[in-house]
C-alpha cells in the first residue's frame, strides 16, 4: 500500500487507538508511556510513534496547530486503519475559578473555525464519543487529578482570542467570547472540533483531554509550574482512558 502523502505512514504502521498532540516534540514524550515504542515517521508537523498498551498496538501522531493540519492527519490515519482518537494538549481555561493545571475533558466543541464547514453545515454539532468521555473521566479519577467536563471552544486565531482587544474586530470577538463563557464553555483550543466532526463522518470515536491555563494567571513562570503545565496530567489521563477502552473493546468482541 502507498504511504499517505502527509503523515508518511501506511496500513500496519499504526494501531486503531491514536493519541493526537499538536506539538511534534510531545509525541516522543507520549510514546514513553507505551511499551516498546518505535518512531514510525517524521514529516512536516507529523511525528508518529507506535507501541503497545495491554498488548494492543497504539500510536501517537502530532497534528501541528489548528484544524487544517489536524484534519489532514485524521483523514490519513483513518485511511490506514485508525478508528479511535484522543486529542491531548493544552488550552485556555474559560470559566471563573479555573486553576492552571486543571484538566478539561471535552464533551463537544464550538465550531468557531473554518475547516469543518468543508465537511458539514455549521449547524451540525461537533460531539465527542460518550464512551471516550466516560473513559477519560474514569482515568482522571483513578489518577486523582482535578478535572472539569464540558464544551470546548475551537478557534482559528490564537491571538484573536488572547489579544482580542487589539484587533479591528475587537467588539465582535469579545462579545462572542463572553457568549461562550456565559454558555458554560470550559476551555479554548484549536483542534477538537475538526477531530470530532471528521470522526463523525467516518463513524470513528474521538475525545479530548487538555491541560488548562487560567486566564488571570497566565502561563507558569516558575520551573515547577512549567513542569505541571507541560507535564504528564493530560497524557496520563489519555493513556488510562485508552487502557479502559482496550479492555471494553475486548469484552465486547
Alpha-carbon distances of 189 from 22, 90, 123, 209, 210, rounded to whole Å:
11, 7, 20, 11, 9
Does 11 map to a domain? Answer: no
173 part of a folded domain:
yes
Residue 2 lies in a domain: no
Helix/strand/coil for 222: coil
Tens digit of each residue's pLDDT, the chain (253 residues): 799 999 999 999 999 999 999 999 999 999 999 999 999 999 999 999 999 999 999 999 999 999 999 999 999 999 999 999 999 999 999 999 999 889 999 999 999 999 999 999 999 999 999 999 999 999 999 999 999 999 999 999 999 999 999 999 999 999 999 999 999 999 999 999 999 999 999 999 999 999 999 877 666 666 666 665 555 899 999 999 999 999 999 999 7
Q: Is residue 210 part of a domain?
A: yes
* Residues sharing a CB contact under 8 Å with residue 62, sequence separation 6 or more, in sequence order: 20, 21, 22, 23, 24, 25, 26, 27, 45, 46, 47, 48, 73
pLDDT for residue 173: 95
103: helix, strand or coil: strand
CA atoms within 13 A on the CB side of 91: 35
In terms of Cα–Cα distance, which of 157, 153, 161 is closest to 106?
153
**Rounded Cα distance, 74 and 7, in Å:** 10
Query: What is the count of structural domains for the chain?
Result: 1
Interatomic CA distance for residues 127 and 207, integer angstroms: 8
Is 240 inside a domain boundary? yes
| 47-89 tens-digit pLDDT | 999 999 999 999 999 999 999 999 999 999 999 999 999 999 9
DSSP state of 111: E
CA distance 232 to 182: 30
Q: Is 6 contained in some domain? A: no
CATH number at 209 reads 3.40.50.1580
- Does residue 9 belong to any structural domain of this protein? no
- Cβ count near 12 (within 10 Å): 12
Is position 12 within any domain? Answer: no
CA–CA dist 32, 26 (Å, integer): 10
Residue 110: its pLDDT value, please? 98
Q: For the chain, what is the largest distance between any 2 Cα atoms, rounded to a whole number of angstroms?
A: 55
- Domain that residue 119 falls in: 17-252
Q: What is the pTM of this model?
A: 0.95
- pLDDT of 216 reads 72
Q: Quick check: helix, strand or coil at residue 6?
A: coil
Amino acid at each position: 500500500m502507498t504511504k499517505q502523502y502527509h503523515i508518511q505512514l501506511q496500513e500496519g504502521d499504526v494501531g486503531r487507538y491514536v493519541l493526537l498532540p499538536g506539538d511534534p516534540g510531545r509525541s516522543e514524550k507520549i510514546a514513553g508511556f507505551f511499551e516498546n515504542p518505535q518512531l514510525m515517521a517524521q514529516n512536516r508537523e507529523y511525528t508518529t510513534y507506535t507501541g503497545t498498551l495491554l498488548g494492543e498496538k497504539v500510536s501517537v501522531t502530532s497534528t501541528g496547530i489548528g484544524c487544517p493540519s489536524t484534519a489532514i492527519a485524521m483523514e490519513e490515519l483513518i485511511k490506514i486503519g485508525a478508528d479511535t482518537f484522543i486529542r491531548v494538549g493544552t488550552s485556555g481555561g474559560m470559566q471563573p475559578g479555573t486553576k492552571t493545571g486543571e484538566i478539561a475533558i471535552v464533551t463537544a466543541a464550538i465550531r468557531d473555525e473554518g475547516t469543518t464547514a468543508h465537511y458539514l453545515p455549521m449547524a451540525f454539532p461537533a460531539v465527542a464519543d460518550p464512551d471516550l468521555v466516560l473513559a477519560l473521566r474514569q482515568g482522571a479519577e483513578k489518577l486523582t487529578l482535578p478535572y472539569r467536563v464540558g464544551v470546548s471552544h475551537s478557534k482559528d486565531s490564537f491571538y484573536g482570542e488572547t489579544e482580542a482587544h487589539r484587533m479591528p474586530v475587537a467588539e465582535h470577538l469579545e462579545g462572542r467570547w463572553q457568549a461562550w463563557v456565559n454558555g458554560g464553555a470550559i476551555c479554548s483550543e484549536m483542534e477538537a472540533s475538526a477531530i470530532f466532526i471528521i470522526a463523525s463522518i467516518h463513524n470513528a470515536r474521538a475525545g479530548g483531554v487538555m491541560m488548562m491555563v487560567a486566564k488571570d494567571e497566565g502561563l507558569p513562570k516558575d520551573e515547577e509550574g512549567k513542569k505541571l503545565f507541560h507535564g504528564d496530567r493530560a497524557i496520563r489521563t489519555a493513556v488510562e482512558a485508552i487502557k479502559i477502552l482496550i479492555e471494553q473493546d475486548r469484552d465486547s468482541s
